[in-house]
Each structure stands twice: as C-alpha cells, then as structure tokens.
Structure 1
C-alpha cells in the first residue's frame, strides 16, 4: 500500500532529476521461451538492472492476447503491488522478487496460456525497459487407435483402396501421424499411396488428428503389417508412440491350380472310395471351383470331391477349374487317376473236364488285370500247383476231384478272384475198403454200405451167395457213387457189392456172421458166478485173519517158491519194514524170499 506522506517526496525527486537532465539506465533480460507441461506451474524470470537502485523501481507484467493489445496482469510499485482483476490469470499468478530477479509464477497452466508475456521495469525517471518470453505449454496426446478395413481388398482394384485409419486425441502442439508397412514409412505416391489427415481443435484447445491410408494393394501385401506412428512434443524433447499392428485381407487370383488324390494313398483298385482334393494359390472369394471328368462335372465342397465304389471307367484325367465370377477368369489344373482292376478268373475248360486214366490232365486259369497277377491251384484246401496252368502227366482216380484256381495281385492287398474246375478221371470203378470184409452181428437186420469211385459214376448191384439180388438205395458222390442195403438175416451169409461202369467192374465180398443172443447171456451168467466165488474166497480169508490192514493200502503178489509155499508181501503206510507171511502165517525176513 502507498504511503501518502511519501508521494510528495517521490515527485520532488523526480522533478529534481529532470531539472538536472540526469536519466537512469535500465536493462531487462529474459529467456526467449519457457516450456512447461499442461497442469504444472510455469515460472517466467525477468532479470533487470538499474543504476537508481531498487527503491523506486516499478515492475509490471503483461500478456499479449491473440490479435489484441497487450494486457497488464500484475503491477508492483515501490509501495504497492497486486494482480489485475478480471483477467485469465487473476487467481493463478504470483510474483516473487529476489534482488534483481522478478519471477512470475502461473499455476495450473493450460494450452490457452500458450502466450507471450512481457516484463516492464520502470524507474523514478521516465526511463523504462522491457523483455519478452514466449510461454509454450505441452500436452501429451492419447494412445493412438488404429482400425483396419473389415472387408478384403482385391488386387484387381484399379484405384487405391482404403487400408485403415489412425486417430490420436487431445495433444498440444498438434501431433504428427506417419504410416508404416513392415517398418517402412509410407509417403504419398501418385496412384500408389495416398495419406490424408484431418485436424480437429477441441473446445479445450487441444488437437485431435485423424489419418487415413489408401494404397494400391498387391499380392505380396497379404502378409504385410501396417501401423501408425504418432510424434508429439514435450518440453525439450520429441516423443513417439506406435499403434497396434494390423493386417489386411488381400484377395488375389491364383496363378496355379493343383488337384491330387487325397485317398487312398498308393494304388487305387475297383471298389475303393476315391477322394480328390483341389486347391490353388489364390484366395479370391467370388469364385467357383469344379472338377470335370470326361463329360461329367462335379461340384467341390471344402476343396474335396468324393466318389465311392469306383470302377475302372472312373479312371482317367480329372480337371479342376477355378473361375473368378466377377471377371469370369479361369485357370485349371489336372491329374490322371488309374483305377486298377482284376476280372473274374476263367478256367479252360470251363466247369469240368474228363480224362482217361493214364492220360495227361491239362487246364489253364486266367484273370484279366491291370497289374501283374499270381495264380495258384488248390484241391481240398491243399496247394497242388502254382502258375496259371494245371498239368498232371498221368491221371489216376486220385487225380479226380474239385480244383480251385485262385488269382491274386501281389502288390495290392485285397485284389483276389477264384474259380473251380471239376476233374473226372475215366476208368473202372474202385471200391473203398478191402476186397473181403468181415461183419459180425447179433441183430436180425443188417445195414451194409458200399462206396465206389470212378467215372462215369458206377452202378452198384447187391447180390447174395445164393444168387439173390438185393434192392438198395444208390446216390452219386463227388467222385463216384454210394449204395446202402438193408436186409434180414437168419444165418451166416455172403453178400457181394458189384460196382461197374463202361470201363470195368469191381466186386467186394461181405462175410456176415450171426451170433446167438443166448450164448451171450450164458457168458454173462458165468462171469457173474465167477465174481461171486472170488468174493466168497476173499471174505473167508478176511475172517481167518489172512488179510491185514483193512484200511491200509495193500499189495498182493505171487512168486515162485518151494512147493505149497505162498508168500504174501504186505506194506503199510505206518511201517518202514516189509513183512512176509508164509502159508502158516509165520513171519519171514525179506531176504528169505
């Protein structure tokens, strides 16, 4: 506060200096700029010198509004100081004078304080000096956000396509955005790369910047990484923030189409399930993939075509065609499929063959196949020959029978076919069994069986020794005939089986002997009687004490000794010594035997 009684003195001194024409020297020194982050306290220093001393010095602070006259915000006189009312800084500033340094403090600075400040020093004489400092306020922007286009981009687009946009908010001074692809900065290039930016000044005075990247997409960009870099300023430095990385989907036409057999692996045979897979080195979305075979066309699902139970006609060239539906461009690839086959085995002669006994048997077996085959012959499940020809130099009756020809493909498991051949050997009949067979029976009815081999199948006749023909049932077998006769007998009799065909005959004799049932009964009665006598003798010996160890294990044996001397050896589980008893029951030593 100014003192009233000092004012006349100061005025007088001023007039005195003026009268003598002596002017004071005043100098002011200030920094060109002061940098501070928003929200902090800025300190602007005004260094001054005067040869009058500090007693009569007046310090005034001004700021320069945009496009306006300077406006005072603080005034310090020798006897009075105060902040000007109703200014932007009224409640946020203070002044600290220390010797010849006057420091103006501005609290909670914002971007609106980014102004020029003036320090004016006055003395008692009209001499004055001033200095200026630019206050620069900084605000770090938010972390940049980046968005990629959601749809894919075709390499066929004539004009550059939008890749994405990058946005950063609330920075001061204005941040700068640079786009990168695979760590390489992107600059505007005619018809190739276009970067456009727009700036928004928020109500707070902060800057928000948005940048958009458009470019001509190529196939090699399908794996490219895009991101934006934001450069912003802080007091005494420049900082950089990198956004997240993004990828784009690039649609491009294929330059090659491949088709291959997915399964089965290896060779294909008739009856297999064929799975063909078709793929290309493009990824165009608006496309159709088809597989053509001969005059047929098949749709492809998930790049795969399946055909079940394939035949040899399913072999040949399969062509996979990729068609881009926007411009109707096509590209194709093909593969050849071989379906291996094995036809039914064919035996020559067919079905059956008849050869004379002693002649050569010869037959062949063949099966048409796309691969090398192996042929084997079996009779009664037993291997008899290898190769497609069956040969027997001199056929016998044992040669006759059913033969099976089996044809396989060694290099492909599961390829197999077979056929059969009935071999008949012409010759006189042979009857199974000895020429004379003995038959004993106690029955009054007998069944006789006669089996004969030979071709043609022999005719079997039954006769008795007295020339009587017997009626019998005859059936043909695989290698001849069989006959069963049933007749009543009253006494011993001979029955003859006569098998004959165009090449001879064979006779077998059955000698039938009857046995009386009474004789059998008599034998049974005698056996029972002898068993009863044996039981009585044993019981008698037991009662006389001649048999010991009723519950022990006993061994009885006869051995030759002196006349009327019987030795019985007794062994017991509870004795270590063998006791020999004579006829009279006297004990004998073992060495007396």
Structure 2
C-alpha cells in the first residue's frame, strides 16, 4: 500500500512539474446510440486521443439517473481499476482499455429494460485536461404473442351502423408495437361512418407493452369473400420488423334477389325408376325457408334439397321453389320443368308356338316408349334377328327353344324391356347318337350311360337290358321337348343295354354294349430243386480239368510249330515219342524252371519240352 502511494505521489509530482511547461489536450469520441435486445450483451465504445500516455490518464464511466444526476459505475487511473458498488450495473459490467488504439470498451451483460440509459465516458489527464462523450443505450424486446379473432356472429350487409369485424392483440414488446389492419392486402385507414379502428396500449409489470386493436366496418355484400388480417411492426436493433396474423373471413348476411331450382341428378334424360334430386338456392344467404310445389303438392326440403325416388311419368311437369326470408318475410320463387321418359313392357304375339316340322311362321314384338327404340331377338344368348318381326322358316328340332325379345332405348343407358317366346316343333323322338356307346370296364366297376332325346311332345324314356330287365335311371331331367336320362350299371358280366324313347309321333332307340374285363389267371411259380453242395463242387472240378486239357493241346501245337510260326525251327532228328505227351506248363512265382505235367500228372524235365 505504501509503495502504491509513493508511486502516485511521484507521478503526480512529475505531472505538476511538466504542467508548468506544456498544456496537454484530451479528446473523446463516442457513438450516439447502441442498440441491443433484452437479455443480450451490450458493448459501448469510448475512443480517446491524448498526448499523455495511458498511465497519466483517469477513465470514468457514468450513467444518468432519472433526476438528471450522474452515477459513476467505473473508475481507473494509473494504479487503480474499480467498479462502483451498490449500483444496478455492479455485477454486470467489465471495462477493457486498449492503449495502442485509444479504446475503452464498456461491456454490460444480461441487459434489462431499466438499462436503457445514457452512458458517459470521462477521460482526464494529470494536467486536468479532460473530455467526455455520451452514448444512449436502447433496449428492444420482440413481441411474443400475436392473435386475431373475427366476429363470432353473422353481420347483415348494407346496415347504417358500423359492425365489429375483428380484434387483434400483440403482447410483451418493447418499444410499443404498432398494429395496422388490412382487407385483401389493402391497409385500412379510419374513415368516418365507414372504417373505425380503436387501439389500446397496456404496460405490463415487466415494463413491456401489449397493444390491442378493434376493427369496425360498415359491411357490404362484397365483404363476404374478403380476407382480413393484422400487421404488427416492431423495432429491433438496426431496423424494423413485421409479422402478420392469419387471414380471417366474416359471415355476411345479404338477402336474395333471385331463386334458382334445378335437377342435380341424374344428369341428362330421366327415365322411370330413377331417383330425382332437386336443388333450390337463392343468391343471398340470409336465413330462409325453402319449399317445392308440384301439382298443388308441397314438398319440404332438407338442406335445400329434395329427393324423389322411383319416379314415373306422373312426375312430369313444373316444379316451383319458393324461398321465404326469415328477416323480411319476403318470398322469391324459381321453377324447373321435368319430363320422365318411359318404356312400357314388351308384348310378344303369339305368346307360344307349336309347329309342325317344315312349317313357316312369324312372331312380333312391340313396346310403347317416349323415345326411339331398338328391338332384337336372341336364342341361347345369340342374336338371331333385328326388328319387331321374327320369321321362322322350315321348322325343325333346331328351331325349337326359347326366344327372347329385347327392346332398348339407345339414348338412355339401362332403359330396357324383355319378353320371351317359347317355340315347340312337333315330331318323333331323336336320340343323340354322338355319345359313347361301347365300354370296356373291369368287373365290379360302375358305368354311367347317358341318353339325350329331343322331340315334342317330350318323349317317354325306358332303359332295358338284352335279357328284358328294366333299369331305373339315376337322374331324369325332363323339359318340354327334351329328356336327359342317366342310368348307372355295375359291371358283373358282358351286358347290352337299350335307351328306348317314344311319343305319339314315333320312337327311337340307342344300344349300349359293355364288355367286362376279367383279371388274368395267376400262374403258380416253378419249383427250384436244391442240389447238394457235392454236385456243384464236382461240376466246378470238371470245368477246371477241361480248361487244363485245352491249354495242353494249345501248348503242344505251339511246340510242334503248328501255330505262331515255329514250324521252321522244328528238331527233325528227334525221335517221335511213342506216346503223345500232353502237358501243361506250370511256373511258380519264385523260379525260372517250368514244370510240365503230363496227362497223368507225371513230371517232365525241361529237356523233354
């Protein structure tokens, strides 16, 4: 402590000594304002120039109180750097001095709204030359809540009084935010008896501002499609920002001047059996009651719609829709004309025919309709004639059957009527001969015999066998001019069966032949005699001896020169042996000597070879 006081005294003495010779100047330069968001860090710069070194200068920071007085928050000289205690900045400031550039930087952390003050930087030399600068610290806060709400009730148009359209609110901004109303992207300015905007500002306990705004208008019919919204502008460091609310619509009531009624469905022409949906609407939207009248009958509407199901030609005529305004009780009406097309049932004459074979006849088919029709005849799914008339020539069994007359209206899908004509051709039975009539089947198996007969009247069919037995059919399907009969036979032997068909015009028959297949007679297996082991061994020994004899003969012929070219080297001086010796050459694995065995098993020396 004594050393510091001595240093200060020495420095002060030196400055006073020099002061007698020279006047030292100090100059300070600062920004007018520094802007920062609430909660962030602010930096205020004080630039100074001086002929003295930093050690000869005293630097002080102040902020202005509401009374106009200055409160020091920082002091620095050649020996001391200190932050004033008991101020709102005591724990949140730091000062950094850069002598080379003449810069003093005041840093304030966690800036609050109350920090929005004027700060003074005072630089003094030892010769009492001084200079000061001032910077205004401006604090900003973005609004954190923005909402818009439209009128919850419908508004009647063209009323003299202004109606409340919407309410906007923005909260917790600093400085105070500003609200502007828009209609279809056009800002709304107050106009007497037309547009009214009322703003209200509230300062919260935090010091932040909340602003609300209410819009009232003289509502016109055109406002039913208008979009309203609010634009909020607020200050931030370095400029201004804007945010917008979402768009809202309002319900505008306006009376109808016209009423329209139309058929919603079906589209196009209407036919009997359809369901008709009427739609009735006025060009206004005030609460109204709708009703439809037809031939002095009133129909109530549901959701402005009327549905008539399964309509007939009696529903033809004019339908009038009447709208009653529930505020003015005035009536408006509109009308639509409906025509229901029809197609009566088809009539076929005659309704049924019985023809002789070779006969030619004509049938007709007609149906009354409100539109042009198309008529066609079908048999077994195939078209056989077009037009109202069906001509049958040279009738036979192929002519017989069911004919269908189909009458359609080409202009309307699904408009169709049908009627049938049964044609029978009289004649003796004819049995279909293309079925299988010959069968080969194993005993105990079953065979189905099928007999298909046509003729009119429908013939009687009887199944019999060659021995006169009558068989009961398994199935027997009878139609007006045909029979389909099936009999099942169990195969026990060869059999001949007959399908006999007859009516009053004649008879026909078909023969079925069944051949029974008998299983082959089993052949008993041959007995195999078992020979003794001794016999088998004897046979093997005999085979070996025969092979030995054959080998001896071949070797003898070889020695005599009869084979393999040895005849030129035969010894002519050697006496012929009185006894032919048939030998077999045997040679062991470990000796070069060959032993010749005679027929009797005698050993022969090599010289006798």
Q: What's the CA shift for 1:162?
A: 2.9
The residue number in structure 1 matching 2:137 is: 135
- C-alpha distance in structure 1 between counterparts of 2:146 and 2:372, whole Å: 72
- Is contact 2:29–2:46 with CA below 8 Å preserved after alignment? yes
- 2:260 is matched with which residue? 258
Query: 1:45 aligns to what?
Result: 45
Distance change (3 Å), C-alpha of 1:219 and 1:14:
same
Paired residues for 1:322-361 under 5 Å? 322-337=323-338
Shift of 1:316: 5.0
Distance 2:217 2:370 in 1: 58
What is residue 455 of structure 2 aligned with on the other side?
none
**Conserved 8 A contact 1:113-1:135:** yes
Report SS of the residue matched to 1:144. strand
Q: Deviations over 1:484-534 (max 9, x none)?
A: xxxxxxxxxxxxxxxxxxxxxxxxxxxxxxxxxxxxxxxxxxxxxxxxxxx
Matching residue of 2:30: 30
Work out the CA distance in 1 between the residues paired with 2:170 and 2:193.
27
Corresponding position of 1:488: none
- Report the CA distance between 1:311 and its aligned residue: 8.7
CA distance in 2, matches of 1:411, 1:56: 112
Distance 1:296 1:7 in 2: 116
Q: Note the C-alpha offset of 1:12.
A: 4.8
Q: Is the 8 A contact 1:141 1:168 kept in 2?
A: yes
Cα shift readout 1:375-396 (whole Å, capped 9, x = no counterpart): xxxxxxxxxxx9xxxxxxxxxx
State the Cα distance separating 1:120 from its structure 2 match. Answer: 0.8
Alignment of 1:442-453 (within 5 A): none
TM-score by length of 1: 0.52
CA distance in 2, matches of 1:209, 1:33: 26
CA drift of 1:269 comes to 8.4
Give 1:314 deviation, angstroms: 6.7
2:420 aligned partner: none
Alignment counterpart, residue 160 of structure 1, candidates 154, 159, 162: 162
Going from structure 1 to structure 2, the CA distance change for 1:106 and 1:371 (only over 3 Å counts) comes to closer
Structure 1 residues 327 and 68: CA distance shift in structure 2, 3 A = farther
Cα deviations by residue, 1:399-458 (Å, 9 ceiling, x for unpaired) = xxxxxxxxx999999999xxxxxxxxxxxxxxxxxxxxxxxxxxxxxxxxxxxxxxxxxx
**In structure 1, what is the equivalent of residue 105 of structure 2?**
103
Q: Note if 1:173 corresponds to 2:155.
A: no
Cross-structure match for 1:146: 148
Preserved contact between residue 55 and residue 77 of structure 2 (Cα < 8 Å): no
| DSSP 3-state at the match of 1:55 | helix
Matches within 5 A, 1:118-267: 118-142=120-144, 144-262=146-264
Question: Are the aligned partners of 1:290 and 1:321 in contact in 2 as well (CA < 8 Å)?
Answer: yes
CA 1:97–1:325: 2 relative to 1, 3 Å? same
Kindly state the Cα deviation for residue 122 of structure 1 after the two structures are TM-superposed.
1.4
| 1:304 match | 305
* Bigger Cα displacement from structure 2, 125-134 vs 250-259: 250-259
Q: What is the total number of aligned residue pairs between the two structures?
A: 371
Aligned twin of 2:117: 115
Structure 1: how far apart are the matches of 2:205 and 2:43?
26
Conserved 8 A contact 1:143-1:243: no
Q: Offset of 1:294 from its aligned partner?
A: 6.1
CA contact (8 A) 1:143 1:241 kept: no
* 1:27 shift after superposition: 0.9
Deviation at 1:26, TM superposition (A): 1.7
Q: Quick one: structure 1 residues 66 and 325, their matched pair in 2 at CA, closer, same or farther if it must change by over 3 Å?
A: farther
CA 262–136 in structure 1, closer or farther in 2 if over 3 Å, else same: closer
1:462 corresponds to which residue? none
Q: TM-score if structure 2 supplies the norm length?
A: 0.51
SS of 1:4's equivalent? helix
1:23 CA displacement: 4.1
Encode CA deviations 1:537-580: one digit per residue, 9 max, x unaligned. xxxxxxxxxxxxxx9999xxxxxxxxxxxxxxxxxxxxxxxxxx
- Distance, in Å, in 2 between the alignment partners of 1:183 and 1:119 is 49
The answer for the alignment partner of 2:90 in structure 1 is 90
